[in-house]
C-alpha cells in the first residue's frame, strides 16, 4: 500500500484558481469513486472538504470542487483566499476495508 | 456537536507498546453508521491511515504496520483505543482519532491530535 502522489507545494494569488492533483493506481483511485480531500491547517485537526470525489459537505464553500480521471483525482480551489492557506491531503479507498492518504500538498496564497 | 479527544502518554520507550484512547462526546460510538479510526502524521510527513473499527468489533488495519496495531472499542465508556506494539523512532508522530461515516465514505470528524515521541 503506497501513499498517493501529490505535489509537495502549490501557490496562487488571491482570487486565482489552483488545482492539486492526487495520483494513485488502478487498485485505489482508479477502482473506486471514494476519494476524499482534507484541509489541514498547522496545529489543527484536518477538515473534510470533499467526499466521494466531488461532493461537498454542508458548510464547505462552493469554491472547492473535486474531480477524477482515471487514476488521478483533483481538487480545485477557485477565488483563492488567504484563509485557504493550509496543507491538503487526498485519501482513497484501497479495497479490503483499507484506506490510503496522499503525501500532502502545501498551499501558499501569495 | 460531536467531539473526539485523544489521550495517552506523550513519551514511549523503543520496543514498548504505545497506548492511546479516544473519548467520543456528543454522539454514540455504537451508532450503526460509523467506524472509528486512527490516523497518524510523522514529523514533516503526510497522513497515514492506521486502522478503523466498527463498534461491534469488525476491524481493518494498514497492512504496512505488520499486525502491530490493535484497535478496540469500549461502548460503556464511549471510547476506542489504539495499541501499537514494538515501537521504534519511526512511530513518532501526531496521532489523530477520527470518525468514518459510511454514508459519505470519509473521515468527517477528527480529534485535535496528540504527539507521541518514541525515545529512550
Q: pLDDT for B35-64, tens place per residue?
A: 999 999 999 999 999 999 988 888 999 999
A95 φψ region: left (φ > 0), alpha (ψ -120 to 50), beta (else): left
Inter-chain contact B107–A96, Cβ cutoff 8 Å?
Answer: no
> Given 3-state DSSP classes, what are the helix, strand and coil percentages for chain A, each rounded to the nearest 5?
5, 50, 50
The DSSP bridge partners found for residue B60 are B52
Say if B45 is an interface residue toward chain A (CB within 8 Å). Answer: yes
Q: How far is B48 from chain A (nearest CA, A)?
A: 6
Q: Which residues of B touch A34 (CB under 8 A)?
A: 105
Among A43, A92, A82, A29, smallest CA distance to B115 is for A43
Q: Is the separation of the CB atoms in B18 and B38 below 8 Å? A: no
Cα→Cα distances A65→A57, A61, A68, B97, B110, Å = 11, 9, 11, 26, 21
Q: pLDDT for A30-40, tens place per residue?
A: 999 999 999 99
Grid cell at residue A49: 472538504
Q: What is the rounded average pLDDT for all residues in chain A? A: 96
Say if A34 is an interface residue toward chain B (CB within 8 Å). Answer: yes
Query: Which of B46, B51, B62, B98 is most worth mutating to test chain A (most A CB atoms within 10 A of its CB)?
Result: B46
Say if B74 is an interface residue toward chain A (CB within 8 Å). Answer: no
Inter-chain contact A101–B60, Cβ cutoff 8 Å?
Answer: no
Q: How many CB atoms lie within 10 A of CB B75?
A: 12
> Which chain B residue has its CA at the smallest distance from A33's CA?
B105
Among B69, B64, B74, B68, smallest CA distance to B52 is for B69
Q: pLDDT for B54-105, tens place per residue?
A: 888 889 999 999 889 999 999 999 999 999 999 999 999 999 999 999 989 9
End-to-end CA distance of chain B: 39
Q: What is the pLDDT of residue B55?
A: 83
Sorted by sequence, the CB contacts under 8 Å of residue A101 that are 6+ apart come out as A3, A4, A89, A90, A91, B39, B46, B47, B48, B49
Inter-chain contact B49–A98, Cβ cutoff 8 Å?
Answer: yes
Q: Which residues of B touch A91 (CB under 8 A)?
A: 47, 49, 106-107
Q: pLDDT for A9-37, tens place per residue?
A: 999 999 999 999 999 999 999 999 999 99
Rg (CA), chain A: 13
Secondary structure of residue A9 in the 3-state scheme: strand
Task: Answer yes or no: is pLDDT of B107 > 90.
Answer: yes
Task: Answer yes or no: is pLDDT of A1 > 90.
Answer: no
Among B107, B6, B93, B1, smallest CA distance to B52 is for B107
Q: What is the pLDDT of residue A57?
A: 95
A82 — pLDDT class (breaks 50, 70, 90): very high
> Which chain B residue has its CA at the smallest distance from A2's CA?
B64
Amino acid at each position: 500500500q503506497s501513499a498517493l502522489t501529490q505535489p509537495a507545494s502549490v501557490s496562487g494569488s488571491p482570487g486565482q484558481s489552483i488545482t492539486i492533483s492526487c495520483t494513485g493506481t488502478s487498485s485505489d483511485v482508479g477502482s473506486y469513486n471514494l476519494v476524499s480531500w482534507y484541509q489541514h491547517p498547522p496545529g489543527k485537526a484536518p477538515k473534510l472538504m470533499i467526499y466521494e470525489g466531488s461532493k461537498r459537505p454542508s458548510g464547505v464553500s462552493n469554491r472547492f470542487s473535486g474531480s477524477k480521471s482515471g487514476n488521478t483525482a483533483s481538487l480545485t480551489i477557485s477565488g483563492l483566499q488567504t484563509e485557504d492557506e493550509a496543507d491538503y491531503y487526498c485519501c482513497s479507498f484501497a479495497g479490503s476495508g483499507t484506506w490510503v492518504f496522499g503525501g500532502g500538498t502545501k498551499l501558499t496564497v501569495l | 456537536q460531536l467531539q473526539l479527544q485523544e489521550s495517552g502518554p506523550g513519551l514511549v520507550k523503543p520496543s514498548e507498546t504505545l497506548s492511546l484512547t479516544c473519548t467520543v462526546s456528543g454522539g454514540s460510538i455504537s451508532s450503526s453508521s460509523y467506524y472509528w479510526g486512527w490516523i497518524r502524521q510523522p514529523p514533516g510527513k503526510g497522513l497515514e491511515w492506521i486502522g478503523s473499527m466498527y463498534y461491534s468489533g469488525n476491524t481493518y488495519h494498514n497492512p504496512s504496520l505488520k499486525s502491530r496495531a490493535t484497535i478496540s472499542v469500549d461502548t460503556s465508556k464511549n471510547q476506542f483505543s489504539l495499541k501499537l506494539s514494538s515501537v521504534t523512532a519511526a512511530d513518532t508522530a501526531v496521532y489523530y482519532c477520527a470518525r468514518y461515516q459510511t454514508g459519505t465514505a470519509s473521515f468527517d470528524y477528527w480529534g485535535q491530535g496528540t504527539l507521541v515521541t518514541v525515545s529512550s
